[in-house]
Structure 1
Amino acid sequence: MNALKNPKNGRHFAKMACAFALLGVFLCVSCGNKKVNVAAALKKGIHEASSLMVAVPGKSYSILATEVTQELYKSVMGENPSGFDGEKNLPVECLSWYDAVMFCNRLSEKEKLEPVYSVDGETDVEEWGYSPHKAAEFKPEIKWRKNANGYRLPTVEEWQYAAKGGQNYKYSGSNDLDKVGWYGEIEGLVAIGKTHPVAQKAPNSYGLYDMSGNVWEWCWDSYSHCKRYNCGGGWNSYAVDCEVGYRNDYFAYYGDVNLGFRIVRSSSKK
Structure 2
Amino acid sequence: MEPLIAVPSGRVTLSDRRTERRWDVDLEPYLLAAFPVTQAAYATVTGERPSAAAPGERLPVESVSWWDAVRFCNGLSAREGLTPAYRVDGEDVSWDRAADGYRLPTEAEWEHACRAGTTGPRYGPLDEIAWYRGNSGDRIHEVGGRQSNAWGFYDMLGNVWDWCWDIYDAEVYGSYRVLRGGGWFDEQWSCRASVRRRSHPTFRVDDVGFRVARTDHA
Match of 1:144? 95
| Counterpart residue type for residue 75 of structure 1 | T
Matched, 1:57 2:8: yes
Q: TM-score, normalised by structure 1?
A: 0.69
SS at match of 1:82: coil
Match of 1:95? 64
| Counterpart residue type for residue 48 of structure 2 | E
Distance 1:112 1:84 in 2: 32
* Alignment of structure 1 residues 1-270 onto 2, 5 Å: 49=1, 51-58=2-9, 59-120=28-89, 128=90, 140-171=91-122, 173-174=123-124, 176-184=125-133, 193-223=138-168, 224=170, 225-268=174-217
Task: Flag structure 1 segments of 5+ consecutive residues without an equivalent.
Answer: 1-48, 121-127, 129-139
SS at match of 2:92: coil
Distance 1:66 1:236 in 2: 19
After superposition, what is the alpha-carbon deviation per residue over 1:154-201, rounded to whole angstroms, capped at 9, x for unaligned?
Answer: 001000000001112322x31x21010011159xxxx96121000010
Could you tell me whether the CA contact under 8 Å between 2:134 and 2:187 is conserved in 1? Answer: no
Shift of 1:218: 0.2
Distance 1:218 1:207 in 2: 20
Match of 1:41? none
Count, aligned residues? 196
Could you tell me whether the CA contact under 8 Å between 1:185 and 1:194 is conserved in 2? Answer: no
Match of 1:40? none
Shift of 1:226: 2.2
Q: TM-score, normalised by structure 2?
A: 0.85
Could you tell me whether the CA contact under 8 Å between 2:39 and 2:56 is conserved in 1? Answer: no
| Counterpart residue type for residue 193 of structure 2 | V
Match of 1:33? none
Cα RMSD over matched residues? 1.7
Shift of 1:119: 2.3
Distance 1:181 1:52 in 2: 21
Distance 2:134 2:156 in 1: 17
Shift of 1:248: 0.4
SS at match of 2:108: helix
Which has the greater radius of gyration? 1
Could you tell me whether the CA contact under 8 Å between 1:62 and 1:264 is conserved in 2? Answer: yes
| Counterpart residue type for residue 204 of structure 2 | G
Match of 1:32? none
What is the identity percentage for the equivalent residue pairs of Structure 1 and Structure 2?
39
Distance 1:255 1:87 in 2: 18
SS at match of 1:142: strand
Distance 1:255 1:68 in 2: 15
Distance 1:70 1:185 in 2: 24
Q: Which has the higher strand share?
A: 2
| Counterpart residue type for residue 71 of structure 1 | A
Could you tell me whether the CA contact under 8 Å between 1:117 and 1:145 is conserved in 2? Answer: yes
Could you tell me whether the CA contact under 8 Å between 1:96 and 1:253 is conserved in 2? Answer: yes
Distance 1:119 1:209 in 2: 30
Distance 1:117 1:88 in 2: 27
Moved more, 92-101 or 219-228: 219-228
